[in-house]
Structure 1
Amino acid sequence: MQSLHLPTERRPDARTEHVPPEGIGGRHRSYATCTPAELLRALPLTPAAARSVHTGRALVRRVLREEDDRLLVLVGPCSIHDVEAGLAYATALRAQADRLADDLAVVMRVYVEKPRTTVGWTGLLPDPALDGSHDLDRGLRTARSLMLAVAEQGLPIATEWLSPAAPAYLADLISWGAIGARTVESQVHRQLASGLPMPVGMKNGSAGSVGVAVDAVRCAAAPHAYLGLDPDGRPGTLRTSGNPDCHVVLRGGAGRPNYRPGDVRAAVALLAAAGLPTGLVIDASHGNSGKDHERQAQVAREIGAQVAAGDTDVRGVMLEGFLVPGRQDLGPGEPVFGQSVTDACMGWDATVDVLADLAAAARSRRRTAPAAAR
């Protein structure tokens, strides 16, 4: 198993506490962390990682634009909490990605922020020790080190953008990004997506509305100007030219799935009415499987059946999988290596089977639908 050695360099004031005056910061306390420029100097993008990112972005764009007839598969843990387990998963996934490369464009989920409906562990980036200490300086370094190691294996990376500040530290490593169901109506996240240098999937709202995701795609395709951070951590006006590669992700909601043919046709009609490209991604987890990791494999196969029947609007599938099936709660005992601590995930054996089935579906579509340029 690979070992990941994190840099120990820290700014002299990395844990300096700042107590804002009453009326400005209220009850907040802030701690200085490294700036984006400092982190990128400490953990620069290597040539191997840069090739992986560039190749991954180009491949995802081609698939989403129907210039490549492979099926995009975004697969990996709900949220990575253990760096070593994440790297072990990446090594195994790289072998499957190579084996199925004629039919699938495989991108690994490396999710380091976990959105919460109420409270709970919020991810490797904000809480790398998993104990509520919230050492963001360590979290940023841990997240970037992990992503560098995955990219250097040749795997493109997917992640969800939750904190608007995170892309300044990590975006150069990402080939596909997501705006989640809880934030898809946020103007801040739509503006953020408009300036990101990778394709971005807009999930339908947590109540099930696909219309809000279509609105988000339209918004992110337009230019914007908004307040953000420059590489040295100073606030400034960020101006974007719009992101032409945003798209809808169907993930179910309000107690019902939306991955079946009728749901896909309804989403395609909304996109077409808005004058947008009709290609979309379907999430086999979350509301589409009722968060049942065993049900997820069946949902993925039903999506694959639509692909095999010739549906060219389904450009990608999202899967939540880890080394060990299910989930575990953090506690005093030794955790299970490679098992999720957030949403339950498919195990490795089930993931391999589903990937093979999706590859077969892509081959069948190639025979039944007009061939896209390779």
Structure 2
Amino acid sequence: MSFTFLNKLPSPSEIKERFPLSPELAALKKERDQMITDIITGKDDRFLLIIGPCSADKEDSVCDYVSRLTKIQEDVKDQLVIVPRVYTNKPRTTGEGYKGIASQPDPEKAPDMIEGLIAMRKMHIRAIEESGLTCADEMLYPENWGYVEDLLSYVAIGARSVEDQQHRLTVSGFDVASGMKNPTSGDFSVMLNSVYAAQHPHHFVYRGFEVETPGNPLTHVVLRGAVSKHGNTTQNYHYEDLIRLHDMYEKMDLINPAAIIDCNHSNSGKKFKEQIRIAKEVMHNRKLSSDIHTLVKGLMIESYIEEGNQPIGNHVYGKSITDPCLGWEDTKALIYDIAEMNA
């Protein structure tokens, strides 16, 4: 055989039994899930802000960052619902590099999948306990959903996963808001077809079982920019892009039309400070067009305690070891600006 089987992983129920979510925090999650649902479905005019590190690499600094958002959330509660990014899986274009705490709980050591699953769950629980905010994560590996399904209030499907059948079908069984990013090619049709698939019921194989799912009406799109055939980044957050997306949504059998704008990645060309300008342009365009205002429900922003990034092996507290992020002072100012622009 070409596979070497190293360890049998504990089941989701085994991990959840060892690291349970308290009834009080489960009730908090239910309340926050409903807030996000009401924004996606148009019942609540508040705006979603999915914000945090590119990759949740260290529990202490990530939970410190998330807890800093608590007071700001209280200040802006009439305008924004803040969903911290605690992304424990990191997709890699070539397969090389740090793949996130779920695979590599210590970035400077070898992968350890069992300890990674534990680290992933412990970090999410601690973040909720200390901040009172439930978080977002990216579902890079569909089979990992069971380990965190009771913890997350938002799930993102990345640009490299959005065309994958297993990801689409798995999202159809979620009961929380799920954002499908446009593929790196930028094709809106691929993205919308993924939303269509996830919004409808399915019958398939999942984790060794034959399963049925009801469809997830909270599935929506995330615009993250694209890469042209020549390797150049192109943007898709501008006024014309959003009007085009609105028109394409209207031609498809989809409910709860919604879009989140990812201010980094190809939209910023990974120039992390551009996120400030991009966020404000999107908010301005929501003022100009009622269609854009209705469609665009939130922003994604990559931010950490210290701005920029650093190589693995450096130990600057709260500084990204993957893509560069906004620093805390810029982040704080931007959140208040976004809240004011949504007023």
Q: Which band: TM-score by shorter chain?
A: over 0.9
1:222 aligns with 2:200: yes
SS in structure 2 of the partner of residue 242 of structure 1: coil
Amino acid at match of 2:262: D
Residue from 156, 162, 168 that aligns with 2:146: 168
Identity of matched residues, %:
33
- Give the drift of 1:321: 0.4
Q: What residue number does 1:138 align with? A: 115
2:324 is matched with which residue: 340, 344, 347? 344
RMSD: 1.2
Mapped to 2, the partners of 1:224 and 1:201 lie a distance apart of 18
Partner of 1:298: 277
Structure 2 distance, partners of 1:300, 1:28, is 46
**Counterparts of 1:186 and 1:226, CA distance in 2:** 14
Q: Is the 8 A contact 2:172 2:215 kept in 1?
A: yes
Q: Distance in 2 between matches of 1:308 and 1:89?
A: 31
Equivalences for residues 92-103 of structure 1 within 5 A: 92-103=68-79
Give the alignment of 1:264-343 within 5 angstroms.
Answer: 264-276=242-254, 277-309=256-288, 310=290, 311-331=293-313, 333=314, 335-343=315-323
Q: Residue 28 of structure 1: CA displacement?
A: 3.2
| Kept after mapping to 2: 8 A contact 1:53/1:157 | no
Find the aligned partners of 1:293 and 1:343 in 2 and give their Cα distance.
8
The offset of 1:91, in angstroms, is 1.0
**Where do 4+ consecutive residues of structure 1 move more than 3 Å?**
none
* Maintained 8 Å contact 2:108/2:312: no
Q: TM-score, normalising length from structure 1?
A: 0.87
CA distance in 2 between counterparts of 1:164 and 1:360 reads 37
Instruction: Give the distance between the partners of 2:74 and 2:120, measured in 1 at CA.
Output: 25
**Distance in 2 (alpha carbons) for counterparts of 1:150 and 1:307:** 32
Residues matched between the structures, number: 332
Q: Which runs of 5+ in 2 are unaligned?
A: 228-232
Deviations 1:264-305 (A, max 9, x none): 011111111113233211111111111111111111111121
Matched, 1:241 2:214: yes
Summarize deviations over 1:171-205 as a string: whole Å, max 9, x none: 11000101110010000000010001211000001
Match of 2:124 among 137, 140, 147: 147
Conserved 8 A contact 1:307-1:361: no
Cα distance in 1, alignment partners of residues 136 and 68 from structure 2 = 17
Give TM-score scaled by structure 2 length: 0.94
- Which AA in structure 2 matches 1:321? S
Structure 2 counterpart of 1:241, which letter? P
- The equivalent residue for 2:226 is 253
Within 5 A, what are the aligned runs for 1:28-177? 28-118=4-94, 119-152=96-129, 153-177=131-155
What residue is the counterpart of 2:337 in the other structure?
A: 357
Offset, 1:49: 2.0
What is the CA–CA distance in structure 2 between the aligned matches of 1:27 and 1:227, rounded to whole Å? 21
Distance 2:35 2:218 in 1: 12
Q: 5+ unaligned residues in a row in structure 1: which ranges? A: 1-21, 230-234, 364-374
Larger Rg, first or second structure (1 or 2)? 1
Tell me the equivalent position of 2:187: 209
**Structure 2: which amino acid aligns with 1:346?**
L
**Residue 73 of structure 1 aligns to a residue in which SS?**
strand
**Per-residue deviation, 1:132:** 5.0
Distance in 1 (CA, whole Å) between partners of 2:185 and 2:301 is 20
Amino acid at match of 1:325: E
Q: Is the 8 A contact 1:106 1:156 kept in 2?
A: no
